[in-house]
Amino acid sequence: MRAAALTALAFALLLGSAIGAARGTSTSWQSVDDRSYVRGVALGLFATDPGWDYGPLIEEIRARGATDVLVVVNAYQSDRFASDIAPRPGRSPSEATVARTLAQVRRAEMRVALMPVVRLQRRGSHDWRGVIAPADGLDAWFESYRRFVVPLARLAQNAGAQRFVVGSELSSLEPYQDHWRALISELRDDFSGALSYSANWDHTDAVQFWDALDEVGLTAYFPLTTPSEPSSTESLARAWRAPRAAIDGLQRRIGKPVVITEIGYPSQGSAAGQPWDDTSSEELDLRLQQRLYRSFCDAFSQTPSISGFYVWNWFGFGGPRDLSFTPRGKPAANELAKCFERAWPASAHAGNPS
C-alpha cells in the first residue's frame, strides 16, 4: 500500500475497534487447551509494509471469540515454470514481523499456526500455484521451496505454534511424494507441533503422503449452487450434504484429524457458486456472505467430521462496500462470532497426535 493507504487502514483498524466496543460485539473468550476444537481465523500478512503491525487485527479476531489464528506468509516465484521462490518486496512480511505476529497471537491467549503460500508474480488467466511446472526440474524447485519454509518452521517452533502447514494447494506437485516426504522429515527436526498440508477441495485424493503428516488439511471452497439456483438457507443446507459426506469419507479413510485450513466467501453475488474467486463479480452481497457462513456452521457443528476450521481471511479494509473475503465490518463478522460460540463436537482424532 502507499503511505496514504496504510494510514487509511490504520484509521480503519482504530475505528473498527471503537465501533466493536461501543456495540458490545466482543465475545467473552474462554481459555483453550491443545486438544479443543479449532474455531480459527486466517490472518494473511499481506500489507505492503513488511514491518506492518497486525496487533489490532489480532485483537479484533480475539474479540469475535476465535480460539486459533492461522498466520499466512506469502513468497513469490516469477511464473509457473520458475523455481526462484523468495519473499517479494512490498508483498511479503519481514522475518521480524512474522515472529512478532506469532508472539502477539500467543499473548492474546489464542493458539497460533503458520502456513507458507507460494504465489506467482506473472500469471496467465488460468495460472496459479496449483499448476506449477518447474522448467529446471523438481529438485531445483523443492530446494527453493525448502529455503522458504524451513526458516518459517523454526519461527513457528520458537513461538510455540500448535501446527505448521507444509504446503498449500500445490496440486501439480503433489504426485512427487518422495520430495514431500523428505521435506516433511526435515521439518520434523525443526518443529515439534502438528504438521499438515492444505489440499485443494477437489484434490485431496491425489495426496499420497498423508501418512507422513499428523493431520489432513483441505480448503473448503466447494461450489454450493449454480447460477440458476437460489442461495436460500434450505438450498445451501442441501448443498452441503455431499461435501460433508466426502469429508467424512476422507477422515475415515486416512484415519487422521481433518482441519479445514480455509473456508471463506467474498461478499459478492457469485460467492455461493464460486467461493474461491473474489474477482468475478462486482455485485455486492453482504447478506449472502453471512448466509454462507451460517450454512457452513450449520453443516458441521452437529458432526465430528472435522477437528476445526480457519475462516479466510481477516486481512483487508472490510466495511459495507467491500467485495473481498474479509468479514471485517460486515454482517458476516457477527455471524462468525455466533458460530464460534456454538458447542462444537469433539473429533475422535482431536489434537496433536505427534
- 3-class secondary structure, 253: helix
pLDDT at 279: 87
Number of domains in the chain: 1
266 lies in a domain? Answer: yes
pLDDT at 228: 76
117 lies in a domain? Answer: yes
Range of the domain at 26: 3-341
Given a cut of 50, is residue 140 above it in pLDDT? yes
pLDDT at 196: 98
C-alpha cell at 59: 485483537
Yes or no: say if 284 and 323 are a contact pair by the CB < 8 Å rule. yes
Range from 168-182, 238-252, 255-269, 339-353 carrying the lowest mean pLDDT: 339-353
**Identity of the residue numbered 30:** Q
Dump the DSSP string for 291-340.
HHHHHHHHHHTTSTT-SEEEES---S--STT--SS--TTSHHHHHHHHHH
318 lies in a domain? Answer: yes
Given a cut of 50, is residue 55 above it in pLDDT? yes
351 lies in a domain? Answer: no
74 lies in a domain? Answer: yes
pLDDT at 18: 36
Q: What is the DSSP letter of 158?
A: H
- The average pLDDT across 53-60 equals 98
96 lies in a domain? Answer: yes
> Is pLDDT larger for residue 185 or for residue 21?
185
pLDDT at 210: 98
User: CATH number, domain at 205?
Assistant: 3.20.20.80
Nearest to 231 by CA among 279, 281, 306: 281
Nearest to 192 by CA among 157, 159, 228, 227: 157
Share of the chain above pLDDT 70, in %: 88
Q: pLDDT by residue (tens digit) across 28-42?
A: 334 455 668 999 999
pLDDT at 36: 86
229 lies in a domain? Answer: yes
Q: pLDDT by residue (tens digit) across 282-306?
A: 899 999 999 999 999 999 998 889 9
Angle between helices 95-107 and 55-63 (to 10 degrees): 30
What distance in Å separates the CA atoms of residue 128 and residue 120, rounded to the nearest whole number?
A: 7
Nearest to 42 by CA among 139, 117, 107: 117
pLDDT at 86: 97
H/E run at residue 311: strand 308-311
Strand partners, 10: none
Dump the DSSP string for 108-133.
TT-EEEEEEEEEESS--TT-SGGG--
348 lies in a domain? Answer: no
**Identity of the residue numbered 1:** M
Yes or no: say if 61 and 111 are a contact pair by the CB < 8 Å rule. no
- The average pLDDT across 307-321 equals 97
Yes or no: say if 45 and 73 are a contact pair by the CB < 8 Å rule. yes
Mean pLDDT of the chain: 89
Q: pLDDT by residue (tens digit) across 85-129?
A: 999 999 999 999 999 999 999 999 999 999 999 999 999 889 999
- Per the document, the length of the chain is 354
